[in-house]
Structure formats: structure tokens, C-alpha cells
Structure 1
Amino acid sequence: MTATPAGPDTTMEAIGRAVTEGRAGDVASARQELLALWSAIGVTGDPLHRCTLAHHLADLHEDPAQALAWDVRALDAADAVTEQRVQQHHAGLHIAGFYPSLHLNLADDYRRLGSFDAAAEHITAAGEHAPHLPQDAYGDLLRTALDEVAEAVSRRDSAKRTSAPGPAA
């Protein structure tokens, strides 16, 4: 049996609003809002908040080195998230389902930086976690992106993928 949260998670709601703002085109404002939230959460704050925020903040950086720094933070935070905490946020989520996307993003960052061996390691890790992806449009999107990044790594291609999330190149 999963516990029901005591009330709305205002931090997750604020992260969601900033992400929506960034996707609507106001990337600079979304970044500022997420950075302010990051400061409020702190490096030892709720790992679900840190993972979610860092994962989305990485997508708001065109520079792959900046994205990499946030994607590393997201993966580190995911390793500290418990299944119970994820279930408190949403009964349908499982921490195992986070890892394909987290490793995919790291693979893409490393690939864009020309670090193809590191990229290949994260593609392998993402593939190992891919069975945890849902059989829905989101899962299909990630499986397609995994194939795209793996192909780009094999070609030693460091160009940004047109299907990659984030600000336009």
C-alpha cells in the first residue's frame, strides 16, 4: 500500500510551471526559476526534487557541457530516491523508469562533446534499463531516441539531434 501525500507538492508544481514556461519558449526565465528552486532545495534536499529539477534544467541548456553538469546531478539524485518517495509523489511511477532517460541524456551530452566511449557506456546503461520503460508514447519516444543516439555514436557524429529536447540550435 502506498502512502498518499499530505498535500500538494509545491516544489514539484513550481518545477512543472518552469518547465512549461521553458517549453513555451521562455528558456531564460525558466532557467532562472529552476536555479532559484535549486538554491532553495539545496544539494542535500529531497532527491526527487533534485532529480526532477536537474533533469529538466539540463534540457534548457544548448551547451552540452552545461547540460552534462545538470544531467550528472540528476543521475546522482536518482540514486538517492527511494521507491517509497516516488510512490508518494505518484502511485504510477517507479524509480527504475527514470534511468533510461537519465542515461540517454548523459549519452547524448557526451556524444555532443565528442566523448564517444563515455556516450557508448551510457547508451548501454540506458538499454539495460529500457525494459522499465512504459509501453506507451513516452516509452516509444525514448526507445526511438536511444536508437538515434546509439546510431550517432557509432557514426562519431557530435551534431545536435533535431529531435533532442531543449532550446533550438
Structure 2
Amino acid sequence: MADDRMADIFAAVRLGGGDREAARTALERLWDEIGEGGDTLYRCVIAHHLADMQDTAEGALHWDRRALAAVFGPGVPLDEGLRGFLPSLYLNLADSHRRVGDFDAARMHLTIARGHLDVLAHDAYGALIRTGLNEVDIALAAGSVDRLPTGESAYKTA
């Protein structure tokens, strides 16, 4: 999607590579501008990336929930574009629940994420999400609440 608002969102996300605080501030400003009743896709993408920019697992979980809520808001049609986000959204929810120590919720969200894998192609992005599912599953089995070894798993920046 090549529009000005999406360009603004991804410009804010790119700030996170060097300055997470600047990225958070820019994304939160965009969130406020779009508002609760704003475009579903924008809200989902902003919240999805804001979750990745949080310093705490609780903060990430808050924004992961908002990303999913944007997709399933009242009257929001679940189109192909939004449906394509579901494996990643549920994966991030699983990881955030794991990091706050809610392993049952983490397992539930992993199961839901796997149930949506059919929307993913067998390409690099699909492999990234599938790898993320395995990483979170391994961390759950170990009882870990730590960030994944990559600091922020590669799937989170997808």
C-alpha cells in the first residue's frame, strides 16, 4: 500500500532502528491522529509496531491487544489484507503473554496463530512467522519469560 499515511507509519518504524524513543513518540502521535475510529489497517499496523517498541513485556502486550482489537473492531470486515496479519498478530500476543508469565494464554495464542498459517505463502515472510512460532514454543517449553535470544526476534520486525 503506497499512500502518504502508510509512508508516515513506516518512516516512524524505521526510526526504531536507531532511536526507539523517537519511534515510539512518532507512532503514538500517528495513533492519536488516526484515532479510535480511524482506518483499521493503519491502527493495526501502528499498534503492531508500537508493541515492538516497548521496553516492557506489559507494554508490548498492551499494544499487541490493541493491534488485534483493531482487526476485530465492530463492523470491520475481515478482508484478505487484514487476514494476512493474523498469524503475526497472534504470534506476538503469544510471545507477550509468555514474557509476562501467562503461559496458558501464550499457548492458546500460538494455537490460534497456527490455525491461520494457511494465509501465509511459503516465502521468506511465511518462514519468518513459522520460525517465530517455533522460537516462542521452545521458550514456553523452557518456562522462559526472557526476550528471545535475538533481543527482539526477527519475526517482530516483519
Q: TM-score of the superposition, structure 2-length normalised?
A: 0.89
Partner of 2:95: 108
Among the aligned pairs, what percent are the same residue?
45
Q: Which runs of 5+ in 1 are unaligned?
A: 85-92
Are residue 120 (structure 1) and residue 114 (structure 2) matched?
no
Are residue 12 (structure 1) and residue 1 (structure 2) matched?
no
Partner of 2:145: 158
Partner Cα distance (2:78, 2:89) in 1: 16
Which of 139, 155, 169 in structure 1 is aligned with 2:126? 139
Partner of 2:27: 34
Q: How big is the shift at 1:162? A: 2.0
Q: Quick one: which amino acid aligns to residue 57 of structure 2?
A: P
Q: How big is the shift at 1:161? A: 0.2
**Which structure is larger by alpha-carbon Rg, 1 or 2?**
1
Which structure carries more relative contact order (alpha carbon 8 Å, separation 6+)? 1
Stretches (4+) displaced over 4 A: none
Q: Provide the aligned length of Structure 1 versus Structure 2.
A: 152
Partner of 1:87: none
Partner Cα distance (2:20, 2:38) in 1: 24
In terms of mean alpha carbon deviation, does 100-109 or 152-161 score higher? Answer: 152-161
- Cα-Cα RMSD: 1.9
Partner of 1:90: none
Are residue 25 (structure 1) and residue 12 (structure 2) matched?
no
Q: How big is the shift at 1:72? A: 0.3
Are residue 48 (structure 1) and residue 35 (structure 2) matched?
no
Q: Quick one: which amino acid aligns to residue 105 of structure 1?
A: N
Q: TM-score of the superposition, structure 1-length normalised?
A: 0.83
